[in-house]
Amino acid sequence: HQELGYRNIWRIQMKEAKEVFNVLSSELSIRILRLVVGRGEPVCVCEFATALERPSYEISKSLKQLRKISFLCSKRRGKYNYYSVQKINDAAKAVVFDVVAKLKDEIFKEDLNRFVKEVCSVKKR
Confidence of residue 1 (pLDDT cuts 50, 70, 90): very low
11 and 47 Cβ atoms separated by less than 8 Å: no
Q: Kindly report, residue by residue over 13-53, the tens digit of the pLDDT.
A: 778 888 989 999 999 999 999 999 888 889 999 999 999 99
What domains can you pick out in the chain, each with its CATH number? 2-124 (1.10.10.10)
Nearest one of 75, 64, 71, 98 to 85, comparing CA atoms: 71
Q: What is the mean pLDDT of the chain?
A: 83
Q: Mean pLDDT, to the nearest integer, of 2-16?
A: 59
Say what the pLDDT of residue 15 is. 80
Question: Which runs of E-coded beta strand occur in 3-123?
Answer: 43-44, 72-77, 80-85
Judged on CB neighbours under 10 Å (0-12, 13-18, 19+), 94 is middle
38 and 101 Cβ atoms separated by less than 8 Å: yes
Determine the Cα–Cα distance for residues 55 and 79; give it in Å rounded to an integer: 18
Which residues partner with 74 through β-bridges?
83
